[in-house]
A = this chain, B = another copy of it.
């Protein structure tokens, strides 16, 4: 086949897959944000039908040949070849699963997401457990059909989420974190100033939090004409497959008003990433980022390195005071910033300060490893969660809803092997920040209310490239060196020194 014909066919393939992804995006968005409760089973049935179509299309020998051809021909544009390779990589993960089992696993995932919501809202782990069991079996079944050896299950999941990572590398990473951050936390808490954080738990109405989230969207240059902000049980960002439609959710706790603000900053980090992708990648599998680690580096950058910075609140605290005058008019901005960043290990990851955050990840990482080495059963999870929470955070969750059920990930839509990328991404983000500082006065840009300057840097170095580079390459090109955990540790030491000792 001529180069031109082949490319035409390949681009038609990309569009067809894009339409199927678009449908999945929309169904999942709807299910998590507004679909009625009783629609669960019908939706699962429909998702099964659609999954069967998609599976048949992907496994059609004609299409598989097409992908092989495109990925191997040197007279074809590099991005097209890369795209073809990526389709094949995803296909190879499910290729040998019998279609019926594959479809069943899609239906199971559709249902477990809603059961998780119900279980979390009603604090009912026994309701969730059998579905989690089924989901785990489906994940293991897929690994089995991929010919992965059982002892490699967890490493393969880690690699699926961040290419090149495995448990050895994560162990090293987490060992450094433990070695550096545990003494730092102790020093701050034992020798540093006391910080009264009671104002964080004052009543803050949902309506006012919504007003602040809209304000932050404006500050961050999140484009609402290409986006939607909604609520869901767990905050998330999702895109239709184009920079022109990137949506995110938050949740509102009226007794923890900064929670929604920080969640919004986190999700907007993801959302701006997607909104700043090369528009030419829309509808292809290169749209988005190269990996979960890079994705989380952007969310955590916006959340922590911007949203938890002193410069940010020096600029926007007056707005917050205007929204909550009774609560904040007698609190100075530096004090507010200290309170926002105070070290306070809690059971809830989404409410964690920057120092205790990685320990939430270590907890989940160790539990997932135990699950995939068959040392931990679904039944034991709540108790082991409590033990590890006490061990790493010094806190017992009040109940399963705030413990083992707190995150959406095991509820089907994200899966296993993802959590470590939050910590890794946070560390990537610190390295990006250090590189950005060599070219840009970050604090000045924040104080000038010009986050567009920061967004531009991120766009040029990271966002615009979508999935066309590996995480390693992005780090190298953007920062001039391979991943180096020191930037993260140094950032935390400097910041927490400021908070507790100055």
Contacts and interface: CB of A to CB of B under 8 A. Distances in A.
Interface of A: 15-16, 18-19, 22-23, 26-27, 29-30, 34-39, 41-43, 45-46, 49-50, 53, 223-228, 230, 240-242, 244-245, 247, 282-283
B228 A42 contact: no
A332 to B, nearest CB: 35
Q: Which of A16, A27, A46, A230 has the most CB of B within 10 A?
A: A46
27 contacts: A16-B53, A18-B49, A19-B46, A22-B42, A23-B23, A23-B46, A26-B26, A29-B30, A34-B228, A34-B230, A35-B245, A36-B224, A36-B244, A37-B226, A38-B223, A38-B226, A38-B244, A39-B226, A39-B240, A39-B242, A39-B244, A42-B240, A42-B245, A42-B283, A43-B240, A45-B283, A46-B240
A114 to B, nearest CB: 12
A36 B246 CA distance: 9
Contact of A49 (B16, B29, B53): B16
Nearest to A57: B53
Q: Say how many copies of this protein the assembly contains.
A: 2
A23 B38 contact: no
A26 B18 contact: no
Given A42-B240, A46-B19, A242-B42, A26 B36 contact: no
B18 A245 contact: no
Nearest to A27: B26
A458 B245 CA distance: 42
Given A19-B53, A30-B30, 15 more contacts: A16-B49, A23-B23, A23-B50, A26-B26, A26-B27, A26-B30, A29-B30, A34-B228, A36-B224, A36-B226, A36-B247, A38-B244, A38-B245, A39-B240, A41-B244
Given A26-B26, A36-B225, A225-B36, A282 B42 contact: yes
Q: Which of A15, A22, A223 has the most CB of B within 10 A?
A: A22
A26 B42 CA distance: 13
Nearest to A39: B245
B45 A15 contact: yes
Nearest to A23: B23
Contact of A36 (B15, B49, B228): B228
B241 A19 contact: no
Contacts of A283: 42, 45
A267 to B, nearest CB: 15
A26 B241 CA distance: 17
Q: Which of A241, A242, A283 has the most CB of B within 10 A?
A: A242
Contacts of A26: 23, 26-27, 30
A224 B39 CA distance: 11
A50 B16 CA distance: 8
A16 B51 CA distance: 11
A240 B49 CA distance: 14
Contacts of A35: 228, 245
Given A42-B282, A240-B43, A245-B35, A49 B15 contact: yes
Contacts of A34: 228, 230
Nearest to A243: B38
Contacts of A247: 36
Contacts of A53: 16, 19, 53
B50 A19 contact: yes
A282 B247 CA distance: 30
Contacts of A42: 22, 240-242, 244-245, 282-283
A241 B49 CA distance: 14
A432 B42 CA distance: 32
Contacts of A226: 36-39
A49 B57 CA distance: 13
Nearest to A17: B49
A46 B30 contact: no
Contacts of A224: 36
Contacts of A37: 225-226
Contacts of A46: 18-19, 22-23, 240
Contacts of A242: 39, 42
A227 B36 contact: yes
A19 B47 CA distance: 8
Nearest to A29: B30
Instruction: Give me the 7 closest cross-chain CB pairs, A-B, nearest first.
Output: A19-B49, A39-B245, A38-B244, A38-B226, A42-B242, A22-B46, A19-B46
Contact of A245 (B16, B36, B240): B36
Nearest to A246: B36
A244 B37 CA distance: 8
